[in-house]
Amino acid sequence: MGDEVTDEEEVLAAVRALEAADGPLRPRDWPALADAHLRQLVTHRLQGLGRQLLPVMDEARSAVTGYLSTWSDEAARDLARDPSGLQEDDLALLTLIYLHWEILGRVLGESLRPVAEQLDAYEGSTGRDAIQGESRREGLARLRARQLITVDNRPGPALKRLTSSQRTWLDQNLVLLMRPDHTWAEEIRQSRQAASFGMEA
């Protein structure tokens, strides 16, 4: 009985800490994350809230160095339909920042000018300036409040909480955005349509 109470306390402590922590929790600090059986209980409790346990791997992707909690894939899809409090301009800013750092910088290895300068230079398909002035400041503040970007306008820690399927979804969105006429984009649209029919059936 004593052990059960201890286990329950450890599981609750780990779930609460996961839901409050701004970075990965190390298993050596949290007994319920180090033990496979207790970790299963943590997983189950998170699932009950529409959340899931996300292992963080080392650089070689051979060992788990910590754990985060994040939205379950079902909850992420559901919540994406109503991005609470975020406006269309905020999402446009986030997309430009993500493209700037992740695609131009990290993937393509281009030398980057400051992101604020890049945003100033952007004129969009209509030739008009992108989000400017007070509207941009407020949009960036909303993205920072959700940890989607950092104080220096880089992709924020919230993006580290994407599961592999959520990251795939994001990558596919970038293809749809940047190369909407490519055959790959058509394949993505067809596969999503088939999946949505499957869910309705």
Partner 1 sequence: MTSRDDTVALSLARLRQSGWLPAGTLPLAQAEDRAAQAGRQVALVGGEDGTPTLAVLTWRGAEPAESTSPPRLARRALSRKATKTLVVAYALLADPQASRTDVTQAWVLDAIRLLTSRDGESWAIPVLRQELPQAGLLAPHNEGWAPGPVMQAWDMPTREVMAHAARQLWEHPTWSGTRLG
Which parts of this chain interact with partner 1 (CB under 8 A)? Answer: 12-13, 15-17, 19-25, 45-51, 71-72, 74-75, 78-79, 84-85, 137-138, 141-142, 145, 147, 157
Nearest distance from residue 55's CB to partner 1, in Å?
15
In angstroms, the CA 62 to CA 54 distance is 15
In angstroms, the CA 39 to CA 14 distance is 9
What's CA 129's distance to the chain center, in Å?
28
How far are the Cα atoms of 9, 52, 79, 184 from residue 31, in angstroms, in the given order? 10, 18, 32, 45
Strand partners, 52: 70
Closer CB to partner 1, 120 or 138, in the complex: 138
In angstroms, the CA 70 to CA 90 distance is 21
Closer CB to partner 1, 67 or 101, in the complex: 67
Closer CB to partner 1, 82 or 181, in the complex: 82
- Provide the token pair at 181: 């006429």
Closer CB to partner 1, 32 or 188, in the complex: 32
Nearest distance from residue 37's CB to partner 1, in Å?
16
The residue type found at 111 is S
Q: Are 30 and 64 in contact (CB under 8 A)?
A: no
Cα-trace Rg, the chain:
20
Nearest distance from residue 135's CB to partner 1, in Å?
11
Closer CB to partner 1, 51 or 100, in the complex: 51
Q: Taking Cα atoms as reference points, which of 18, 139, 10 lies closest to residue 71?
A: 18
Closer CB to partner 1, 76 or 97, in the complex: 76
Nearest distance from residue 128's CB to partner 1, in Å?
24
Nearest distance from residue 178's CB to partner 1, in Å?
28
Nearest distance from residue 145's CB to partner 1, in Å?
6
